[in-house]
Amino acid sequence: MPITKLSMASGKPSVIPYGDKPKREYDRAYNQRRQTTETDYVKFYHSAAWLHKRREILERDYGLCQRCGKDANLVDHIIPSKDDWEDRLDSDNLECLCRECHKIKTKREWYKHHKSKERYMEINLVCGLPGAGKSTYVKRHMTDHDLIYDYDDLMQALTGLSSRHRNHDVHDYVMLFLDQMLRKLKAEQSFNNVWIIRTLPDHRIDSLLANYHHINHILIDTDASVCEARIAKRKQKIQFQKILNDYQAADWGGYRRVKNC
Ligand SMILES: [Zn+2]
């Protein structure tokens, strides 16, 4: 089989022979096609609303790439605007990226669309206070072939208790499972996404998996008062104040903050 690479040709990503350089006409063809068939799309990127929003997101993210922390070159739609035109100005769907990380993301999206069998698995670390809406966020973004590690759900399943008591003996088993799961995930490409739901950041997860997979760090940043009210309503028996202290002391650098969950 000849060695190939993924490149832009005639305005769309295509697999071409490795030595080939995409030609300039392709760019021109692409621009022309954009002008004629994607007027709305082009208009949007020239609109005052977009330019304003773009500036706002650059400020919000301190001009840093939200995946690697280097200087950002662009503001990207997390869910591509073509797939989700409605949310094109939604701040929660926008993030700053550097050129390198954007390239990786584009390539991954292309794989997802064109080569469903060759998966490009991502690990999503979803953190936040109890009651922040982490599971809700995951349910909203998961696909039909994902792996979800949810501490609370596992605790409930293993204790048979509905009201989410923390049982310290069972806790060890739930954590043991996470350990084993992380080790197995190193070699895995079987899922579209892996979701690990936790309260606090866990650097072990990064150090174990960062060399093997792309990890998205997501912080469900709901007001503590809202979380506390939800916990009270669910009659969950947890030490909220203690968790809140740890949460506030944690290092959330590199996490993308999501509001309103
Ligand atoms: Zn980057």
Q: How far is the CA of 232 from the centre of ligand 1 (A)?
A: 40
Length of the chain (residues):
261
Better-predicted residue by pLDDT, 28 or 160: 160
User: Quick one: pLDDT at residue 101?
Assistant: 85
User: Quick one: pLDDT at residue 2?
Assistant: 62
When pLDDT is cut at 50, 70 and 90, the band that residue 86 belongs to is confident
Q: How far is the CA of 99 from the centre of ligand 1 (A)?
A: 7
When pLDDT is cut at 50, 70 and 90, the band that residue 255 belongs to is very high
Structural domain boundaries of the chain?
4-18+38-112, 121-258
Which tens digit of pLDDT belongs to each residue from 146-197?
A: 999 998 889 888 988 865 566 788 888 998 899 889 888 887 777 889 999 9
Among 15-19, 114-118, 212-216, 245-249, the range with the most confident prediction by mean pLDDT is: 245-249
> What value does the mean pLDDT take over residues 125-153?
92
* CATH number for the domain formed by residue range(s) 121-258: 3.40.50.300
> What value does the mean pLDDT take over residues 223-228?
94
User: Quick one: pLDDT at residue 105?
Assistant: 82
Q: How far is the CA of 234 from the centre of ligand 1 (A)?
A: 40
Q: How far is the CA of 108 from the centre of ligand 1 (A)?
A: 15
pTM for this prediction: 0.58
At residue 112, does pLDDT exceed 80? no
3-state secondary structure labels for all residues of the chain: CCCEEEEEECCEEEEEECCCCCCHHHHHHHHHHHHHHCHHHHHHHHCHHHHHHHHHHHHHCCCECCCCCCECCEEEECCCCCCCHHHCCCHHHEEEECHHHHHHHHHHHHHHHHCCCCCCCEEEEEECCCCCCHHHHHHHHCCCCEEEEEHHHHHHHHHCCCCCCCCHHHHHHHHHHHHHHHHHHCCCCCCCEEEEEECCCCHHHHHHHCCCCEEEEEEECCCHHHHHHHHHHHCCCCCHHHHHHHHHHCCCCCCEEECCC
> What value does the mean pLDDT take over residues 51-59?
95
Q: How far is the CA of 103 from the centre of ligand 1 (A)?
A: 9
Q: How far is the CA of 83 from the centre of ligand 1 (A)?
A: 23
Q: What's the mean per-residue pLDDT of the chain? A: 83
Q: From CA 25, how far away is CA 232, in angstroms rounded?
A: 63
Q: How far is the CA of 224 from the centre of ligand 1 (A)?
A: 30
Q: How far is the CA of 217 from the centre of ligand 1 (A)?
A: 13
End-to-end CA distance of the chain: give it in Å, rounded. Answer: 48
CATH architecture of the domain 4-18+38-112 equals 3-Layer(aba) Sandwich (3.40)
When pLDDT is cut at 50, 70 and 90, the band that residue 72 belongs to is very high
User: Quick one: pLDDT at residue 123?
Assistant: 92
Q: How far is the CA of 67 from the centre of ligand 1 (A)?
A: 5
Q: How far is the CA of 110 from the centre of ligand 1 (A)?
A: 18
User: Quick one: pLDDT at residue 138?
Assistant: 94
